[in-house]
Amino acid sequence: FIKKLILSLGDDYIEIAPMVFAHKTAVIAKSASITGPCIIGENTEIRHCAFIRGNALIGKNCVVGNSTELKNVILFDKVQVPHYNYVGDSILGNKAHLGAGTICSNLKTDGNPVVIHGEKDLPTNLRKVGAILGDKVDVGCSCVLNPGTVICKNTAVYPNTTLRGVY
């Protein structure tokens, strides 16, 4: 999807590395490591030592912070993952925010496919699935969102919480 989307980008996007396109207003620290395919939106800030491992679609006005790692993600507009976060195989809705040290875990320790546990179990048939966060979700510092966690819009999560299921 990201590779196809790259083909439709306008002149406001610059290829800064192979298959890595950033809007001309994006601010990217020299110490950031970014592997494509990746699109970085308008007015987005990629801070010191951010590690973007590919397959990343990062919206407008986002913050990807110090020592934050992204892989196989969609970050909608105004998402903030400002420091020491891991976000793998996840989707974060508009204005979602992760407190420092929050992890979107994407791999079960037993090696089985991820199941989303809600009113009914939803098998994904995928070995790796991170978190899906709705718009304006605010997750406190040092939380762990276990594989397949879904948090609905306008939800706040207390710091130091471990979640599994649908909230």
- Kindly list the catalytic residues: 83
Cβ count near 70 (within 10 Å): 28
Cα-based distances in Å from 64 to 10, 118, 120, 125, 144: 23, 30, 34, 29, 18
Helix runs in the chain, H state only: 2-6
| Phi/psi at 134 (5° precision) | -75, 180
Q: What angle do CA 10, 40, 18 make, to 5 degrees?
A: 80
Decide the pairing of beta strands 13-17 and 20-23. antiparallel
CB 83 within 8 A of CB 65: yes
Distance, CA of 134 to CA of 153 (rounded, Å): 4
What is the CB-side half-sphere exposure of residue 61 using CA atoms within 13 A? 7
